[in-house]
Amino acid sequence: MNPIQTHMPTTARNTATLDTVAYAVGQSAIGKILAARSAIGVCAILIGSDAEALEQDLADRFPGKVLVEDEAALRGDLAAIARFIETPGAGLGLPLDMRNGTPFQQRVWEVLRAIPCGATITYTALARRLGRPNGARAVATACAANAIALGIPCHRVVRADGTLSGYRWGIERKRALLDKEAAI
């Protein structure tokens, strides 16, 4: 069953802007990327190996939204994401819609966005910055809930000993992203 809806009833068109998420799938140096945009900004950047799995992940993250594949509208976003993966020092430069999270998750994501390219932070240090010195596990959970890979750079969070830990998009992708950033 395809989770993506491409047609909407006439009565729903008036609220389509608020209830619609446009998306497109492209290719990057680290695999397939799915970019999705609401009326506010980019609400998802998903990374994987299979376009259908990425589409299903998007549908799971945005239940009740009308998902519309629109490659033409997202061509620029996909190009910006692929460019960022290759040259992270240039920045991503896309407006983000981070409303799809709890207030705590949104606070974690805001702090993550302030971490400079090429730098890392530990889960514990991030929890301390948020005023929750014992909240490393909650921070890790917020990172795992992040739907905007790269825009919210969860890949910059490491274990207390500096080693890489789990990354929703795969540990090898995390390593590749950090290696690219370290080369700046």
Kindly report, residue by residue over 14-27, the tens digit of the pLDDT: 344 678 999 999 99
The residue whose two tokens read 């497109």 is 24
Q: What angle do CA 143, 55, 32 make, to 5 degrees?
A: 75
pLDDT band at 167 (very low <50, low <70, confident <90, very high): confident
pLDDT band at 160 (very low <50, low <70, confident <90, very high): confident
Helices (DSSP H) in the chain: which residue ranges? 16-19, 51-61, 71-86, 103-113, 123-129, 136-145, 171-182
Residue 91 CB: number of other CB atoms within 10 A?
Answer: 11
Q: Does domain 103-182 have CATH number 1.10.1660.10?
A: no
Residue 71 CB: number of other CB atoms within 10 A?
Answer: 13
Q: Rounded mean pLDDT of the chain?
A: 90
Q: Which of 43, 117, 143, 154 is catalytic?
A: 154
What does the pLDDT look like over 126-144, one tens digit per residue?
999 999 999 999 999 999 9
Tell me, yes or no, if 143 is annotated catalytic: no
Domain spans of the chain? 15-90, 103-182
Tokens of 158: 């490491």
d(CA 62, CA 21): 8
CATH number of 15-90: 3.30.160.70
